[in-house]
């Protein structure tokens, strides 16, 4: 009896034959089988059924068919029952699948039509496979990725408006000041201890210390320093503290590669542009519930890629590594009562990811050419309805660093507007703590959730409102004095403070509008509504105010003279020839 026959593994290969690498690899064994090569041979019928299909259900042949011998993929190598065929092994090697394995194909020793067809099948499969990567690479880069990677690679040489330069220098100064002041806080002390203990090659500076270490360790430590508390910059809508990861990343890589001050400013500015656009692209409706690491990782990675001067191809791979590391959106940091894990989530993790990605790609690592399109891409994975074009929207025209808030007060973002309101009320109608009968603060529901009766003083609204009424201001030291949370004078006022989440104010986010109502014991009612927090793009701090805040943070740690020199140098950073010139000014003597 003459029958075409096929084994069950071969039938499965045919079922899975699609335009993918798996299909191309499986095509070789399928092509050498008689199911695709029309050669008929006589087979001795087994006792009623095929041993490959005991129930006689072979889908590609009639019932009662004997199994055929052919090459199959078996545990990492192609094997067959007969003698080795060197030509087939050579083809498989060219396909990239012979790594010392033994590839055997049927060969009777005499060249027959069947043996020639078997070899021809392998050549077809190999040819199809070898052309696959180049076709995919050529077809898979979207216009968005092309524009984005090109812009990123050119950023180090691209000039921008004077206003953007001034804002960038303010944010760099503000972040460095946060690092210095953070060295006096528990998270900052832990960061310095980590860098000192971890060691590594002495390449990069750990701020406010004498420690030098590798760029990855320095970036982690400095980012933790920058977000040891709530002093660093943030986005008024929440979900982002870009500076605390971007600036440390650029500093660490800038020291390793000896970049200029202008290059440094441009890398930092690019980091804000990419990090914030990443959040604005996938943040709404995203599967990522907390976006701080998303912003930190994309921002730090972009800044790092600019600092090490990657080309457009490398920038595409760099973004792939950013996307792979950016998805840790877990809001459990809200339960951290010591700000140590929070500092890592907001700053250290993104800085580590950014430096690592930049160094890997700079050293020769490659990746996916376009993580923004194609199967299992970043957008599809985290926010399927998002438009990737938002990543390049007004790029080069809208600079995100100018849309990020420098905080007037060294406290959590949602507390800024209530403190602004109280300061205005105290100036307009001075009053003393014992005159206060009640204080009602209305804030957006998300803001109220973040700062409601927290254990840490700098993010506890009720506590800082009471401090503001008692001291008539809130200094850095007062905002971080945890012992004062038990001060009877503060506790008496705090008992009169009520925080009310307001849905109407929530609808105004990203604006952090707050309403403060103070009722005095004589019945006087004072009300102030703050629409634009001091330090926001709508109500920016002046240069003098930025300097005053930085001096208040730096001078107690490095000394007044060193503080003045560092501030002056950072405000003229575009004239620095090598960023390593800042090292003596950043270190604690």
Running along the chain, 589 residues long, what does each successive block of 10 average in pLDDT? 41 41 41 38 38 38 38 38 40 39 42 51 48 49 97 97 97 98 97 92 96 97 97 90 98 98 98 97 79 96 98 98 90 91 97 98 97 94 93 97 96 94 97 97 95 94 98 94 96 98 94 96 97 94 97 96 98 98 96
**Does residue 130 share a domain with residue 15?**
yes
Position 140 scores a pLDDT of: 78
State the Cα–Cα distance between residues 373 and 149, nearest whole angstrom. Answer: 14
Helices 292-307 and 312-325 pack at an angle, to 10 degrees, of: 160
Here the tokens at position 69 are 């011998």
**Does residue 231 share a domain with residue 176?**
yes
**Does residue 147 share a domain with residue 135?**
no
Burial class, 41, CB count within 10 angstroms (exposed 0-12 / middle 13-18 / buried 19+): exposed
**Does residue 176 share a domain with residue 44?**
no
Instruction: Answer whether residue 547 is part of any domain.
Output: no
Neighbours of 284 (CB within 10 A): 10
DSSP conformational letter for 407? P
Neighbours of 49 (CB within 10 A): 17
State the Cα–Cα distance between residues 83 and 106, nearest whole angstrom. Answer: 6
The last residue of one of the domains, among 118, 139, 160, is 139
Q: Show the domain range for 459.
A: 413-530
Give 414's Cβ-side CA count (13 Å radius).
27
For the chain, give the number of residues: 589
Here the tokens at position 191 are 């960061």
Position 440 scores a pLDDT of: 98
Instruction: Answer whether residue 189 is part of any domain.
Output: yes
**Does residue 115 share a domain with residue 155?**
no
- The number of angstroms, rounded, from the C-alpha of 379 to the middle of its chain's C-alpha atoms is 14
Query: How many domains are contained in the chain?
Result: 3
* Closest C-alpha to 343, from 455, 190, 462, 201: 190
The last residue of one of the domains, among 139, 157, 189, is 139
State the Cα–Cα distance between residues 547 and 533, nearest whole angstrom. Answer: 18
**Does residue 90 share a domain with residue 8?**
yes
State the Cα–Cα distance between residues 100 and 98, nearest whole angstrom. Answer: 6
| SS3 assignment, position 79 | strand
Helices 261-282 and 292-307 pack at an angle, to 10 degrees, of: 150
Residues 6+ apart with CB under 8 A from 111: none
State the Cα–Cα distance between residues 555 and 54, nearest whole angstrom. Answer: 85
The last residue of one of the domains, among 106, 124, 139, is 139
Report the predicted TM-score, pTM, of the whole model to 2 decimal places: 0.76
State the Cα–Cα distance between residues 464 and 410, nearest whole angstrom. Answer: 11
State the Cα–Cα distance between residues 45 and 421, nearest whole angstrom. Answer: 93
Instruction: Answer whether residue 86 is part of any domain.
Output: yes
**Does residue 448 share a domain with residue 302?**
no
């Amino acid at each position: 009896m003459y029958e075409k026959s096929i084994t069950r593994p071969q039938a499965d290969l045919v079922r899975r034959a699609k335009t993918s690498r798996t299909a191309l690899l499986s095509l070789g064994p399928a092509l050498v089988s008689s199911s695709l090569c029309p050669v008929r041979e006589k087979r001795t019928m087994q006792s009623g059924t095929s041993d490959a299909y005991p129930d006689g259900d072979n889908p590609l042949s009639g019932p009662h068919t004997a199994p055929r011998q052919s090459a199959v993929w078996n545990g990492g190598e192609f094997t067959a029952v007969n003698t080795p065929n060197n030509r087939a092994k050579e083809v498989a090697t060219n396909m990239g699948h012979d790594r010392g394995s033994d590839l055997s194909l049927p060969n009777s020793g005499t060249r027959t039509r069947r043996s020639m067809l078997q070899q021809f099948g392998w050549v077809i499969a190999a040819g199809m496979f070898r052309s696959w990567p180049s076709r995919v690479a050529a077809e898979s880069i979207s216009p968005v990725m092309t524009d984005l990677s090109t812009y990123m690679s050119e950023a180090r040489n691209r000039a921008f408006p004077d206003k953007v330069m001034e804002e960038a220098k303010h944010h760099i100064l503000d972040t460095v000041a946060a690092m210095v002041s953070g060295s006096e806080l528990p998270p900052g002390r832990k960061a310095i201890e980590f860098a000192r203990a971890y060691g590594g090659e002495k390449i990069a500076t750990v701020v406010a210390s004498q420690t030098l270490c590798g760029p990855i360790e320095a970036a982690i430590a400095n980012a933790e320093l920058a977000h040891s508390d709530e002093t660093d910059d943030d986005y008024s809508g929440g979900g982002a503290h870009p500076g605390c990861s971007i600036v440390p990343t650029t500093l660490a890589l800038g020291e390793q590669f000896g970049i200029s001050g202008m290059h440094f400013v441009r890398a930092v500015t690019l980091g804000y542009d990419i990090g914030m656009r990443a959040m604005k692209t996938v943040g709404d409706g995203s599967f990522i519930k907390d976006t701080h690491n998303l912003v930190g990782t994309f921002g730090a990675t972009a800044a790092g890629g600019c600092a090490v001067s990657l080309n457009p191809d490398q920038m595409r791979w760099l973004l792939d590594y950013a996307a792979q590391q950016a998805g840790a959106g877990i809001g459990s940091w809200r339960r951290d009562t010591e700000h140590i894990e929070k500092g890592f989530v907001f700053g250290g993790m993104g800085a580590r990811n950014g430096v690592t990605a930049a160094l890997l790609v700079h050293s020769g690592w490659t990746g996916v050419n376009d993580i923004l399109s194609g199967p299992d891409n970043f957008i599809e994975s985290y926010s399927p309805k998002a438009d990737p074009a938002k990543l390049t929207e007004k790029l080069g025209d809208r600079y995100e660093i100018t849309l990020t808030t420098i905080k007037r007060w060294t406290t959590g973002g949602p507390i800024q507007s209530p403190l602004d309101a109280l300061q205005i009320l105290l100036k307009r109608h001075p009053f003393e703590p014992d005159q206060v009968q009640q204080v009602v603060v209305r804030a957006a529901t998300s803001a109220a959730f973040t700062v409601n009766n927290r254990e840490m003083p700098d993010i506890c609204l009720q506590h800082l409102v009471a401090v503001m009424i008692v001291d008539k201001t809130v200094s850095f030291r007062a905002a971080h004095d945890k012992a004062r949370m038990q001060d009877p004078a503060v506790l008496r006022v705090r008992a009169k403070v009520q925080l009310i989440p307001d849905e109407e104010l929530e609808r105004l986010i990203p604006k952090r509008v707050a309403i403060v109502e103070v009722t005095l014991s004589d019945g006087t009612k004072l009300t102030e509504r703050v629409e634009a927090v001091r330090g926001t793009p709508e109500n920016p701090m002046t240069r003098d105010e930025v300097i005053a805040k930085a001096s208040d943070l730096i001078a107690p740690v490095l000394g007044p003279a060193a503080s003045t020199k560092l501030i002056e140098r950072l405000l003229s950073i575009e004239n620095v020839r090598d960023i390593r010139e800042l090292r003596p000014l950043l270190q604690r003597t």
